[in-house]
């Protein structure tokens, strides 16, 4: 199996690195999911329960610039700038493959995304603009160049296979669920799988990791069911069983009181209260139904899907939320940074695995994500901000996005690091099973453990405890080498140490149990129930806190005299 994996990785343009113990590992920046991708987070399927507490897929919605006046290549420099900006705090970059003539430029932009360790999202919508066929054409091109090193105008490089392996999803629709109904959604997902995800190429399924994503309306406005009651009493429908990525968009726009007149704590309190209704995950459970009131039982998107997907049998579905960092020029105030922070914290605590930010740009109209970055925000009614206010918005916006990114890449998805074994060499005692509890100083998700080297019988369990080997008398004085591996989807670490075999009655470490050792034992005698003197822990052979007649009986069994192997 290892040779097969190695062959596949070499085919994908990935050179294996050999570490101590001749164990093969991925080079820096590559992670293992359904495929090996060059990214911060893996492409894989999480159950709804597994999604609680992580938020791996962070991306900006509507990043690609094109205004219909020129070719996509005309905007290359600006789109590269946008990719580079968003790559500072994103794990996914969405690209618009709207027109059939854009294939070459989309591939160039994909190469830049790969260079920045970004996963990629394309579109496979059908209709006036056939994103669906355009995506097929792009994938065909990448597959035919799977072993070819492709180069963008900036000199960045990636093989076609590497680009394929960095595509995480394809958008197949937005807010169409009520028109499509369950049967229409099922058919759309099935068509995507047939045409794209499960296409056979040279006897392989190279696109099977690219799941489709359909975004829906907020639960209260939508038609999907969260329970059988929604079906029976409200005429709603369960989502189809072949649902993969699914989600909603519900935005918190600020009207009424100007948030700039509030303190940061006041803004965060208002933002949290809004999340309590719409996105908060309640571990004790929450039943929702479309009652129309401004109450979590009527409006909560998180539990609408968390309850509805299992009820529908959509057991492979994962949840993506579109939140807003924009405002509506002329209608709402600039969205406070506290509102964005509240979105992230609430969604991370629940089963969502994706967070998209609406919307990156709308020609610098003063209320979009790019306006925070380029310092072109305008106040409600088009009133300009002062330079100091623009600088403050910019700095706090970047700090907020970086907090989210760092939480994902430094807390949620981190290669394991095994704490150093001490002492080294360790001691192993004859006729007593050797155990060693290893620990991780960091690492998430949970690591799997394996033994690379050790005496016959050595094994390690899921919590990192080494066991399975018992040294015998013939091993006295020998040193045995151990090496273990801890790995997760982000990376792996190795730890090596030695264990020297001795008798517990060999207090002076000269490989026998004789009169000198007895002298030490005699000096340590404390009597039953009385603590032993300092420096005498080794003479407490039965480990009951004293050195007494029972310990002497154990010592006597082992005492064989000078230069003779101890009996135990």
- pLDDT computed for residue 21 by the predictor: 34
Stretch 77-97: mean pLDDT, rounded? Answer: 98
CA-to-CA distance for 548 and 525, rounded, in angstroms?
A: 6
Beta strands in 73-222 (DSSP E): 92-94, 119-123, 149-151, 157-159, 167-174, 211-217
Angle at 363 between CA 360 and CA 369, to 5 degrees: 25
* Residue 62 CA: distances (Å) to CA of 55, 97, 356, 361, 562: 20, 12, 10, 7, 82
- pLDDT computed for residue 560 by the predictor: 84
Stretch 231-250: mean pLDDT, rounded? Answer: 98
- pLDDT computed for residue 4 by the predictor: 34
- pLDDT computed for residue 404 by the predictor: 98
Exposed (0-12), middle (13-18) or buried (19+): which is 566, by Cβ within 10 Å? buried
Tens digit of each residue's pLDDT (9 = 90 or more) over 454-469: 999 999 999 999 999 9
Stretch 354-376: mean pLDDT, rounded? Answer: 93
- pLDDT computed for residue 26 by the predictor: 84
Stretch 334-338: mean pLDDT, rounded? Answer: 98
Q: Identify the CA nearest to 222 among candidates 173, 286, 178, 279.
A: 178
What is the DSSP secondary-structure string of 211-258? EEEEEEE-GGGS-B-SSHHHHHHH--BPPPTT--EEEEE----B-SS-
Q: Are strands 211-217 and 167-174 parallel, antiparallel or unpaired?
A: parallel
Exposed (0-12), middle (13-18) or buried (19+): which is 498, by Cβ within 10 Å? middle
CA-to-CA distance for 438 and 449, rounded, in angstroms?
A: 10
pLDDT of 17 higher than 70 = no
Residue in the structure block whose two tokens are 């020297």: 500
Residues contacting residue 452 through CB under 8 Å, at least 6 positions apart: 21, 23, 483, 484, 485, 494
Residue in the structure block whose two tokens are 């509890």: 437
* Residues 518 and 541 sit within 8 Å (Cβ to Cβ): no
Range scoring the smallest mean pLDDT among 2-16, 22-36, 334-348: 2-16
pLDDT of 14 higher than 70 = no
pLDDT class for 514, splitting at 50, 70, 90? confident
Tens digit of each residue's pLDDT (9 = 90 or more) over 317-327: 999 999 999 99
**Higher pLDDT among residues 128 and 501, named by residue:** 501
**269: three-class secondary structure by DSSP:** helix
Stretch 250-278: mean pLDDT, rounded? Answer: 97
pLDDT class for 252, splitting at 50, 70, 90? very high
pLDDT of 3 higher than 90 = no
- pLDDT computed for residue 565 by the predictor: 81
* C-alpha 336 chain-centroid distance: 27
pLDDT class for 22, splitting at 50, 70, 90? very low
Tens digit of each residue's pLDDT (9 = 90 or more) over 89-141: 999 999 999 999 999 999 999 999 999 999 999 999 998 889 999 999 999 99
Architecture (CATH level 2) of domain 49-412: Alpha-Beta Barrel (3.20)
**Whole-model pTM?**
0.88
Stretch 432-441: mean pLDDT, rounded? Answer: 97
Angle at 174 between CA 360 and CA 212, to 5 degrees: 95
Domain ranges of the chain: 49-412, 513-568
Residue in the structure block whose two tokens are 């590497």: 162
pLDDT of 276 higher than 90 = yes
Tens digit of each residue's pLDDT (9 = 90 or more) over 527-566: 999 999 999 999 998 999 999 999 899 888 888 888 888 8
Structure-block tokens of residue 312 = 């529908």
- pLDDT computed for residue 362 by the predictor: 78
**Higher pLDDT among residues 515 and 387, named by residue:** 387
pLDDT class for 512, splitting at 50, 70, 90? confident
What is the DSSP secondary-structure string of 299-314? H-HHHHHHHHHHHHT-
Range scoring the smallest mean pLDDT among 2-16, 365-379, 432-446: 2-16
Stretch 170-185: mean pLDDT, rounded? Answer: 98
- pLDDT computed for residue 564 by the predictor: 84
Beta strands in 11-153 (DSSP E): 17-19, 23-25, 30-32, 36-38, 57-60, 92-94, 119-123, 149-151
């Amino acid at each position: 199996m290892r040779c097969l994996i190695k062959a596949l990785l070499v085919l994908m343009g990935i050179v294996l690195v050999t570490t101590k113990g001749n164990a093969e590992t991925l080079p820096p920046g590559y992670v293992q999911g359904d495929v090996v991708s060059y990214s911060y987070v893996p492409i894989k399927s999480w159950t709804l329960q597994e999604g609680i507490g992580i938020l791996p897929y962070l991306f900006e919605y509507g990043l690609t610039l094109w205004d219909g006046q020129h070719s996509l290549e005309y905007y290359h420099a600006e789109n590269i700038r946008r990719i580079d900006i968003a790559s500072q705090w994103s794990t996914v970059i969405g690209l618009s493959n709207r027109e059939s003539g854009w294939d070459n430029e989309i591939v160039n932009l994909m190469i830049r995304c790969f260079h920045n360790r970004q996963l990629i999202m394309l579109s496979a919508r059908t209709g006036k603009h056939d994103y669906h066929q355009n995506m097929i054409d792009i994938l065909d091109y990448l597959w035919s160049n799977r072993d070819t090193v492709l180069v963008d105008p900036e000199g960045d490089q990636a093989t076609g296979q590497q680009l394929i392996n960095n595509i995480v999803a394809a958008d197949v629709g937005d807010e169409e669920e009520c028109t499509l109904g369950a049967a229409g959604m099922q058919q759309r997902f099935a068509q995507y799988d047939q045409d794209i995800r499960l296409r056979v190429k040279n006897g392989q399924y190279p696109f099977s990791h690219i799941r489709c994503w359909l975004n829906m309306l907020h639960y209260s406005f939508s038609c999907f069911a969260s329970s059988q009651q929604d079906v029976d009493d409200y005429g709603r429908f369960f989502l189809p069983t072949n649902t993969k990525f699914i989600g909603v968009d519900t935005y918190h726009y600020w009207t009424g009181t100007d948030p700039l007149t509030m303190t940061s704590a006041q803004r965060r309190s208002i933002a949290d209260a809004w999340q309590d209704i719409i996105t908060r995950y309640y571990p004790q459970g929450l039943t929702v139904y479309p009652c129309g009131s401004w109450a979590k039982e009527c409006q909560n998107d998180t539990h609408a899907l968390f309850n509805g997907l299992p009820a529908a049998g959509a057991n492979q579905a994962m949840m993506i939320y579109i939140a807003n960092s924009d405002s509506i020029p002329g209608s709402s105030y600039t969205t406070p940074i506290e509102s964005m922070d509240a979105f992230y914290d609430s969604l991370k605590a629940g089963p969502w695995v994706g967070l998209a930010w609406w919307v990156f740009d709308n020609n610098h109209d003063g209320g979009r994500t790019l306006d925070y970055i380029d310092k072109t925000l305008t106040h409600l009614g088009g009133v300009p901000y002062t330079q100091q206010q623009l600088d403050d918005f910019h700095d706090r916006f970047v700090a907020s996005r970086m907090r989210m990114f760092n939480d994902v890449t430094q807390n949620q998805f981190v290669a394991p690091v095994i704490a150093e074994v001490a002492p080294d060499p360790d001691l192993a005692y004859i006729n007593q099973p050797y155990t060693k509890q290893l620990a991780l100083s960091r690492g998430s998700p949970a690591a799997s453990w394996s033994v690379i080297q050790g005496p016959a019988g050595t094994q390690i369990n899921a919590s990192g405890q080494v066991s399975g080997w018992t040294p015998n008398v013939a091993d006295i004085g020998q040193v045995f080498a151990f090496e273990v591996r801890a790995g997760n989807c982000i990376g792996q670490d190795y730890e090596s140490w030695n264990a020297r075999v001795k008798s517990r009655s060999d207090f002076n470490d000269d490989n026998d149990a004789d009169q000198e050792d007895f002298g030490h034992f005699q000096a340590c005698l404390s009597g039953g129930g009385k603590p032993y003197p300092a420096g005498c822990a080794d003479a407490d052979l039965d480990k009951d806190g004293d050195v007494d007649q029972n310990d002497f009986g154990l010592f006597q069994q082992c005492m064989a005299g000078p230069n003779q192997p101890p009996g135990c």
